[in-house]
Amino acid sequence: MSEWIRVCLFSDIAPLGSRIAASSQGDIAIFRSADDQVFALRDKCPHRGGPLSQGIVHGDTVTCPLHGWKLGLKDGQAVAPDKGCARRFAVKIEAEAVWLQLT
């Protein structure tokens, strides 16, 4: 069974910014790209557990603030030559609100 939870208003996330949603599965980082796409990843870099929500968003990637690993926002995969993955969560925008799917 999947559950959608309302996280915030779309306008609460600055372009190239992020918000954190606390869940029983750990913190989830909600990112907004420069072209207003929204993505959600577990807020933990697969390298050393750095907080991705504090990283730099550029294009459709985020750079971990600890050691510079880049992860794709669409799939959570580390960009080569790095290897690893941050769990991705479905996210949608309805009536100006950002919704996150927890399964």
- pLDDT (tens digit, 0 to 9) for every residue of the chain, 103 residues total? 578 999 999 999 999 999 999 988 899 999 999 999 999 999 999 998 899 999 999 999 999 999 999 999 999 999 999 999 999 999 999 999 999 998 7
Name the nearest CA neighbour of 32 among 13, 51, 9, 45. 13
> How many other C-beta atoms can be found within 10 angstroms of the C-beta atom of residue 8?
15
Q: What is the pLDDT of residue 20?
A: 96
Q: What is the pLDDT of residue 24?
A: 84
pTM, whole model, 2 decimals?
0.92
**For residue 93, what are its two tokens?**
């925008």
Q: What is the pLDDT of residue 7?
A: 94
